[in-house]
Amino acid sequence: MTRKSRRSRSIRRKPKIQKCEVYKTGPITVNPFLNFVRDVRKNAKGLSVCEIVSKAGRLWRRMNDEQKKPYYHLAKKARELKSRGHKSSHRDRKRRESDRSLSDSCREMPVTRCASQKTIRPKTAASTRSLNRTRSRPGL
């Protein structure tokens, strides 16, 4: 008599939900074709993902520039919002992180950049001693 493993007994399969009914339309992107696919998904219920994308590709190729214009306009808006919002907040966050990383006592010490690491470290007496030792050895 063979026994089933604990894992196989504990795993119970959930009933499959038809994914085509649960599709989300997605955010507005910087790619005009993906914005078009968003609209196609709204109207294409009951189709698989592959069918939706292939249908969208065929429709997109048949469209003229005038019909594609609203999707390019959405992409342009998304690009402007992305560039406007991201750069300033990213710059501010980096500035705050660098201020937090160095304490007041460390700011007064001379600073060197390590070759193996991208971080900035303050000079210590131990590091200058080892540097002087290697310089004083002949042949190195």
pLDDT tens digits, one per residue of 100-140: 555 555 555 555 555 555 555 555 656 555 555 555 556 55
Q: Kind and range of the H or E element at 113?
A: strand 111-113
Task: List, in order, residues 6 or more apart from 34 with CB less than 8 Å away.
Answer: 26
pTM for the model stands at 0.45
Q: How far is CA 100 from CA 91, 94, 104, 105, in A?
A: 14, 10, 10, 12
Highest mean pLDDT among 3-17, 31-45, 110-124: 31-45
Give the integer Cα–Cα distance in Å for 107 and 123: 11
